[in-house]
């Protein structure tokens, strides 16, 4: 991973961009216009959540940091905490004053899920009943957060094609998170982070990821068989390309482990959501 992009990654800006790309794909799919407040609130909320989580991790592991990100975040903690406070206040102003009422209600409900995830990550980590792979929580929160605004603001009725695209998107996100988990399994286990690879083992996780990629590709084929070359099939093509690239990363560790290229490609895959502007 090149130095400029490494900083971009450490500051969670890659996550923000990937979330926006995922939400853009949903907005194009539903032909929705959630409004400027949605896009601003989504970007700020994602940045606040991920940066806050990284700050907590960096503080916990400050004496024996095993991850370069934690060392970087801890060194920059003063300015990051200040920016985090400013962005949080700005985010609350936008959410409570400019966000659509329906979106606000769902956002408040989702906030409960986020707090539960934070509690599991930082408070109840020793409770084995709550030691569930984090990928499942991130998948649900990420997908619900990115698709909430476009779904509420949709101008098209929900169809089976939309549901199939949603299922494909969920598969791509699980594949994305699972691939990174497999590459980072040693570091995550030393940090006590619950992941698919750590819970199921590398072999089982690898099989699960291959099966997930196969399912996404089969659903893309189903889209074309049922809907031909209609608009929804074009979205399926984008998601199939995402799954194909992640499968390549999964099957070629010797190629993508160099300079953490796997992380760069995993991020770039989500950015492909912006291709929906062409549809």
Mean predicted confidence (pLDDT) in 99-122:
74
Percent of the chain with pLDDT over 90: 43
More confident: 140 or 175:
175
pLDDT value at residue 186: 58
Mean predicted confidence (pLDDT) in 119-131:
56
Q: What is the pLDDT of residues 9-44, one digit of tens each?
A: 889 999 999 999 999 999 999 999 999 999 999 999
pLDDT value at residue 230: 77
Distances (CA, A) of 58 to 65, 77, 80: 8, 9, 12
CATH number at residue 192: 1.10.600
Greatest mean pLDDT among 53-57, 98-102, 235-239, 250-254? 235-239
More confident: 154 or 193:
154
- Average pLDDT of the chain, as a whole number: 84
More confident: 157 or 259:
157
Mean predicted confidence (pLDDT) in 247-266:
85
Q: In terms of residue numbers, what domain contains 133?
A: 3-278
Helices (H), the chain: 3-10, 13-30, 36-60, 68-75, 77-98, 101-122, 134-152, 160-183, 185-191, 196-200, 202-227, 231-251, 253-256, 261-271
C-beta separation of 234 from 148 below 8 A = no
Residue 198, pLDDT > 80, answer no
Write the DSSP assignment of 136-188 as a string of letters. HHHHHHHHHHHHHHHHHT-SS---HHHHHHHHHHHHHHHHHHHHHHHHTHHHH
Q: How many domains does the chain have?
A: 1
């Amino acid at each position: 991973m090149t130095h400029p992009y490494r900083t971009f990654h450490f500051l969670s800006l890659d996550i923000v961009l990937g979330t926006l790309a995922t939400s853009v794909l949903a907005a194009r799919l539903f032909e929705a216009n959630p409004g400027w407040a949605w896009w601003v609130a989504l970007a700020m909320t994602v940045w606040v959540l991920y940066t806050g989580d990284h700050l907590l991790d960096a503080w916990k592991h400050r004496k024996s940091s095993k991850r370069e990100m934690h060392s970087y975040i801890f060194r920059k903690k003063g300015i990051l905490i200040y920016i985090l406070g400013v962005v949080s206040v700005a985010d609350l102003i936008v959410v409570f004053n400019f966000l659509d009422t329906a979106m606000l209600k769902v956002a408040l409900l989702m906030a409960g899920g986020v707090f539960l995830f934070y509690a599991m990550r930082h408070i109840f980590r020793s409770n084995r009943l709550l030691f569930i792979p984090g990928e499942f929580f991130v998948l649900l929160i990420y997908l619900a957060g990115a698709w909430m605004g476009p779904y509420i603001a949709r101008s098209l009725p929900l169809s089976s094609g939309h549901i199939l695209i949603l299922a494909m998107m969920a598969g791509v996100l699980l594949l994305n998170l699972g691939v990174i988990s497999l590459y980072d399994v040693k570091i995550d286990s030393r940090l006590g982070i619950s992941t698919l690879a750590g819970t199921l083992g590398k072999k089982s996780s690898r099989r699960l990821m291959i099966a997930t990629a196969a399912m996404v590709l089969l659903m893309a084929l189903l889209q074309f068989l049922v809907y031909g070359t209609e608009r929804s099939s074009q979205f399926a093509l984008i998601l199939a390309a995402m799954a194909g690239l992640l499968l390549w990363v999964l099957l070629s560790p010797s190629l993508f482990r160099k300079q953490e290229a796997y992380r760069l490609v995993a991020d770039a895959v989500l950015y492909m959501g912006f291709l929906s502007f062409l549809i």
